[in-house]
């Protein structure tokens, strides 16, 4: 009991960054994620672990600071909300193109444009399909609780370094602003340059030693054939990530006639909807993707022939629904229910949407 | 056991911190808790509300439409939340500043004159603890000892000398809460 702390999702991100041995945070304030930078400023980790915390002059500056830190093999991160993440896209595609590890946190708000400060999930396409230019992918984690906000910072860094690829935590205003109890972990030491080389190989610019070539961090190669070979290598890496790192949770799916598919805060709303449906005698389950890239395609496919339909619930016009439809490839009905612009669906509305789509008429 | 509560009033009344103390008290007795504040334009308009859920099992949705208990501290919140108390549920309100009193017959209604009492005690800051006391009298969902532990957790150490005063205010709220419907 005493081990638990009551924290906002945003505060959990900051606490986890300090404790997992993060070397640097570079950000710029924006609602609904400003508590990440605020908590870091209050905690003063530069006195405790030596972690750098810097409020940059803009979102664009902060992602380029992350690019530089990542090039040195450091555990570096940034966070923002939707409009700010759009500004960071150039830096993100350069980081992906240079095969560098870093963590980006998006506490999503309604869009498009400046939109609203209220929660939304309308940045799914941007997060999982690329976002910036070029054929690249982020590893995208979707926390559904404050504990997962905490846990996924360490996990995000771990995956980012394992695959030398940027990772993103795709959250939203509900999870960012909500307080729940959190079990915090032990402090991990920040790595020295020597330890970075030992653990992750010698790709980083930690200083040239006499017995190796210079390490060059770049996303530019003007030779078309070499650039294609590099792209093929990236694609092999993404397939490997799909093979090894797909994560999802199944709730009451064993005997389900219908399956709700939802991530993040929508999945919490859907858990309640599952309970309400079961009380009415409708056999409903929930499939919660924990990784959005890689997407749990095979898990969804495995229910084809067993269930009568899928309903995705998203705070968007329907984005993830496209990936669910690709997974079932026309072999099962897939419908979408959602709200946009900061309106949050209620569990009762989800139940009604399921009944309207699949049961009545 | 699951208790779903909305606390709603003006910014500055201590609505969010009261919710936080309640949530910490739940943690102290090994419950699952969720605390979900309003942070949108309504907050910038001066009203503040927070949903607090205490449960013995995993909490599903932190976003809920209906509440077991509504604690209402201004007219705007009365207009918004009276209809959203579950049938058989509880509504607790401070009549100070309320022009349209609650009228529902299918819920239990209590009033607590917290603003006047806090003023009489010469300490307006204990207002939210008087309200918390009223709630705990009507719905003893957390034990007093756990509330004190919760207070210790949620207050910075330099304010720990204020805990006895807060305890007194909670007891006062328990005394003065009255059933009106």
On whether any CB of chain A is under 8 Å from the CB of B40, the answer is: yes
pLDDT confidence tier of residue B155, bands split at 50, 70 and 90: confident
- Beta strands at A309-314 and A334-338: parallel, antiparallel or unpaired: parallel
Condensed to tens digits (0 to 9), the pLDDT of residues A63-84 reads 999 999 999 999 999 999 999 9
Condensed to tens digits (0 to 9), the pLDDT of residues B167-178 reads 999 999 999 999
CB pair distance less than 8 Å for B64 and A347: yes
Class (C level, CATH) for A249-359: alpha beta
Domain coordinates of chain B in residue numbers?
2-179
Condensed to tens digits (0 to 9), the pLDDT of residues A198-253 reads 999 889 998 888 888 899 999 999 999 999 999 999 999 999 999 999 999 999 99
Report, at the CATH architecture level, how domain A4-183 is classified: 3-Layer(aba) Sandwich (3.40)
Of B28, B37, B65, the CB nearest to A1: B28
Output b/e per residue, A265-280; b: 16+ Cβ within 10 A: bbbbbbbbbbbbbeee
pLDDT confidence tier of residue B41, bands split at 50, 70 and 90: low
Cβ within 8 Å of A, B 3-22: 20
Condensed to tens digits (0 to 9), the pLDDT of residues A243-264 reads 999 999 999 999 999 999 999 9
Q: What are the φ and ψ backbone dihedral angles of A276, each rounded to 5 degrees?
A: -65, -40
pLDDT confidence tier of residue A2, bands split at 50, 70 and 90: very low
Domain coordinates of chain A in residue numbers?
4-183, 249-359
pLDDT at A202: 87
Identical fold between A4-183 and A249-359 = yes
On whether any CB of chain A is under 8 Å from the CB of B65, the answer is: yes
Q: Is the pLDDT of residue B129 over 80?
A: yes
Containing A299, the helix (H) or strand (E) segment is helix A297-301
pLDDT at A108: 98
DSSP state of A186: P
Output b/e per residue, B5-19; b: 16+ Cβ within 10 A: bbbbbebebbbbebb
Average pLDDT of A126-147?
A: 97
Residue of B nearest to A344 (CA): B63
Q: Does domain B2-179 have CATH number 3.40.920.10?
A: yes
pLDDT at B46: 76
Compute CA distances A281 → A276, B1, B166, whole Å. 9, 22, 47
- Is A309:A358 a contact under the CB 8 Å cutoff? yes
């Amino acid at each position: 009991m005493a081990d638990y702390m009551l924290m906002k999702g945003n505060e959990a991100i900051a606490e986890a960054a300090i404790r997992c041995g993060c070397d640097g945070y570079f950000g710029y304030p924006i609602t609904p994620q400003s508590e990440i930078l605020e908590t870091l400023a209050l905690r003063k980790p530069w006195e405790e672990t030596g972690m750098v915390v810097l409020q940059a002059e803009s979102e664009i500056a902060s992602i380029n600071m992350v690019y530089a830190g990542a090039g040195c093999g450091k555990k570096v991160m940034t966070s923002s909300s939707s409009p700010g993440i759009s500004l960071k896209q150039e830096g993100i595609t350069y980081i992906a193109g240079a095969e560098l590890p870093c963590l980006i946190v998006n506490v999503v708000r309604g869009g498009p444009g400046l939109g609203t400060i209220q929660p939304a999930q309308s940045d799914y396409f941007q997060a999982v399909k690329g976002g910036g230019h070029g054929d690249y992918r982020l590893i995208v984690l979707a926390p559904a609780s404050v504990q997962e906000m905490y846990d996924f910072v360490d996990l995000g860094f771990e995956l980012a370094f394992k695959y030398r690829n940027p990772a993103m935590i795709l959250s939203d205003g509900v999870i960012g602003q909500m307080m729940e109890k959190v079990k915090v972990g032990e402090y991990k030491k920040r790595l020295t340059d020597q330890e970075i080389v030992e653990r992750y190989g010698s790709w980083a610019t930690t200083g040239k030693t006499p017995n190796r070539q210079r390490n060059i961090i770049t996303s530019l190669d003007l030779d078309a054939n070499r650039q294609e070979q590099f792209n093929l290598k990236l694609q092999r890496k993404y397939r490997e990530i799909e093979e090894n790192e797909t994560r999802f949770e199944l709730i009451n799916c064993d005997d389900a006639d219908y399956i709700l598919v939802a991530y993040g805060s929508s999945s919490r709303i859907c858990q309640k909807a599952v309970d309400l449906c079961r009380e009415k005698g409708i056999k409903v389950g929930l499939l919660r993707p924990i990784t959005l890239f890689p997407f749990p395609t095979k898990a969804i496919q495995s229910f084809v022939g067993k269930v009568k339909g899928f309903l995705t619930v998203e705070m968007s016009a329907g984005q993830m629904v496209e990936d669910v439809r690709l997974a079932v490839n026309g072999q099962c009905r897939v419908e979408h229910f959602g709200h946009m612009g900061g309106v949050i669906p209620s569990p009762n509305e989800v139940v009604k949407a399921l009944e309207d789509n699949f049961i009545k008429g | 056991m699951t208790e779903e509560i909305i606390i709603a009033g003006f910014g500055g009344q201590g609505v969010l911190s009261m919710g936080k103390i309640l949530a910490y008290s739940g943690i102290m007795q090994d419950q699952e808790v969720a605390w979900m504040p309003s942070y949108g334009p309504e907050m910038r308009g001066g009203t503040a509300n927070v949903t607090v859920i205490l449960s013995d099992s995993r909490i599903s949705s932190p976003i809920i439409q209906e509440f077991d208990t509504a604690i209402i501290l201004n007219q705007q919140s009365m207009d918004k939340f009276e209809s959203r108390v579950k049938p058989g549920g509880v509504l607790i309100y401070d009549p100070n500043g309320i022009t349209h009193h609650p009228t529902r017959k299918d819920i239990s209604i209590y009033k607590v004159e917290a603003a006047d009492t806090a003023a009489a005690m010469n300490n307006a800051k204990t207002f939210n603890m008087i309200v918390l006391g009223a709630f705990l009298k009507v719905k003893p969902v957390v034990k007093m000892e756990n509330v004190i532990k919760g207070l210790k957790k949620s207050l910075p150490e330099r304010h720990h000398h204020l805990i006895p005063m807060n305890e007194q205010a909670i007891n006062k709220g328990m005394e003065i809460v009255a059933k009106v419907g």
